[in-house]
Structure 1
Amino acid sequence: MIEVGQKLPEATLYHRGEQGLNGCSVTEMTAAQRIVLFAVPGAFTPTCSDAHVPGFMVLNDAIRAKGIDNIFCVAVNDPFVMKFWGEHLNVGDAIRMISDGNGMFTRALGMERDMSNGAMGIRSKRYAMILNNGVVEWLGVDESGLANSSAEAVLGAL
């Protein structure tokens, strides 16, 4: 699993824009920025929709006031689902909803989680990280619950 002090692995993540499918290089996405990247096991799932993403909406301004340029939410879901989920939650420009549809980035981080017993297949663990120019400054991972990767935990780490 990725650790504090390590640089993110290169991968292409995706989002749906007005012009269609857009690929985002992780290196380009994180270059010369301090960002929060948080991951959820799945779009439209209860904890993710009811608490994780909404927490980052509520504390968005406070997190950005601590020197964060962007906030990204990533999930092993396709870009169409991530776009619609972001619209459903009214995230607007506050959070950029990113797809790791094939789970390649998640796997490269060592953050994959087998949720086959719940009919969800291979997904991401729930985590949040603070990144500076693509290097992990802080990492909070939850095996269950939301204590270590919540917006409150990120704000506390800033």
Structure 2
Amino acid sequence: MIERGSALPSVPTKLVNADGIADTTTTDVLGQGLVVLFTVPGAFTPTCHVNHLPGFLANEAKLRTAGVTRIVCASVNDHHVMKAWAENTGALGHIDFLADGNGAMAKAFGLQLDLTVAGMGPRFARSAVLIRDGVVQDVFVEDGPGVGASGAPAILMALEAANS
């Protein structure tokens, strides 16, 4: 798993943002500035759709005030699903999305979760990562169901602690 002080692995992915859909790499998207990356098991899945993504959208201004230059959500979904989710939630233009259709990013980051028993296959574990100029500052991985350690309020508290 990626850990504090490690450089991000460069993995091909698709970026979904207000400009459209583009082929890119994780280092191109996450490698500059202070970035909050949060990963979810699936777009439109109940906890991700109702709790995790909305928390980051609602706290966008506070995150930016705390110095965050980019908020990015990644999921093992294709770029069409990620675009539809971004549009459906009103997050397009506020949060950027990485579509990890084959799970290569989840695997390279060591944040893969096997949900085969639930019929979903390999996915991202629910997590959040603070990244500064391509170097991991902190990793928050949920150890159970729900959103706690990887939610926007917890990330805001971590940023506040780091800045004090």
- The answer, yes or no, to whether TM exceeds 0.5 is yes
Q: Does 54-63 or 18-27 show the bigger shift? A: 18-27
Q: Distance in 2 between matches of 1:123 and 1:10?
A: 18
CA distance in 1, matches of 2:119, 2:74: 20
* Aligned twin of 1:89: 89
Instruction: Supply the RMSD in Å over aligned alpha carbons.
Output: 1.5
Amino acid at match of 1:66: A
Contact 2:16/2:96 (CA < 8 Å) preserved in 1? no
Relative to the length of structure 2, the TM-score reads: 0.91
Counterparts of 1:144-155 in structure 2 under 5 Å?
144=144, 145-155=146-156
2:11 counterpart letter in structure 1: A
Hey, what's the Cα distance between the residues in 1 that align with 2:34 and 2:19? 27
Structure 1, unaligned stretches of length 5 or more? none
Asked whether the equivalents of residues 33 and 132 of structure 1 are also in contact (C-alpha less than 8 Å), the reply is yes
- Confirm or deny: 8 A CA contact 2:17 2:97 kept in the other structure: no
Conservation of the 8 A alpha-carbon contact between 1:12 and 1:24: yes
Query: Residue type of the partner of 2:22?
Result: N
Aligned residues: 158
* TM-score, reference length from structure 1: 0.94
Report the CA distance between 1:16 and its aligned residue: 4.4
> Can you list the C-alpha shifts for 1:15-70, whole angstroms capped at 9, x where unaligned?
34688641122222223311100000000000000010000011110011011101
- Corresponding letter in the other structure for 2:157: G
d(CA) in 1 for partners of 2:9, 2:123? 18
Query: C-alpha separation between the residues in 2 aligned to 1:131 and 1:32?
Result: 8
Q: Percent identity?
A: 38
Q: Give CA deviations for 1:73-99 in whole Å, capped at 9, x if unaligned.
A: 000000000000010101131111210
The gaps in structure 2 that reach 5 residues or longer are: 160-164
